């Protein structure tokens, strides 16, 4: 599974997010787009292989152009379904430690309200 190791490494080393709110949202969005795209393109490839193996006479109708359209739809679905990440993630202050972190709104839960970073 793809992860943005450079951004994660910078966060792990400095223990804080250094960048504007836009960058926080962009990194979270790109991470989820990559994860979804990998899964959806794999499904598109599986569909192509299924048609080629189980219906060999239909492969002449299933052109490369149609496969490109299917992969493009996979990427479009990834871009659309990852949009909620831009609303969930934000650069938020941690008053107790006087620093800013990039994390999701659903991270602070429960009575003890402890801070944890989401690993997308």
φ/ψ of 92, rounded to 5, equals: -120, 145
pLDDT at residue 82, as a whole number:
92
pLDDT at residue 26, as a whole number:
87
pTM of the model: 0.68
Condensed to tens digits (0 to 9), the pLDDT of residues 66-114 reads: 888 988 999 999 999 999 888 888 877 777 777 777 777 654 444 444 4
Q: What is the DSSP string of 52-112?
A: HHH-GGGGGTS-HHHHHHHHHHHHHHHHHHTTHHHHHEEEEEETTTTEEEEEETTSS-TTT
The answer to whether the CB of 40 falls within 8 A of the CB of 75 is yes
pLDDT at residue 12, as a whole number:
64
Condensed to tens digits (0 to 9), the pLDDT of residues 18-73 reads: 778 888 888 889 989 999 999 999 998 898 888 888 888 776 676 778 888 988 99
pLDDT at residue 36, as a whole number:
94
Structural domain boundaries in the chain: 5-87
Helix axes 21-54, 64-81, angle to 10 degrees: 150
């Amino acid at each position: 599974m793809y992860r943005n190791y450079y951004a994660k490494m910078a966060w792990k080393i400095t223990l804080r997010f250094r960048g504007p709110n836009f960058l926080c949202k962009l990194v979270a969005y790109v991470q989820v787009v990559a994860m979804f795209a990998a899964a959806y393109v794999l499904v598109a490839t599986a569909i192509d292989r299924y048609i080629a193996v189980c219906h060999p006479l239909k492969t002449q109708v299933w052109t490369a152009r149609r496969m490109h359209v299917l992969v493009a739809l996979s990427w479009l679905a990834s871009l659309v379904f990852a949009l909620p990440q831009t609303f969930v993630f934000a650069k938020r202050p941690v008053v107790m430690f006087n620093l800013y972190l990039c994390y999701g709104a659903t991270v602070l839960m429960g009575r003890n309200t402890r801070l944890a970073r989401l690993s997308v």
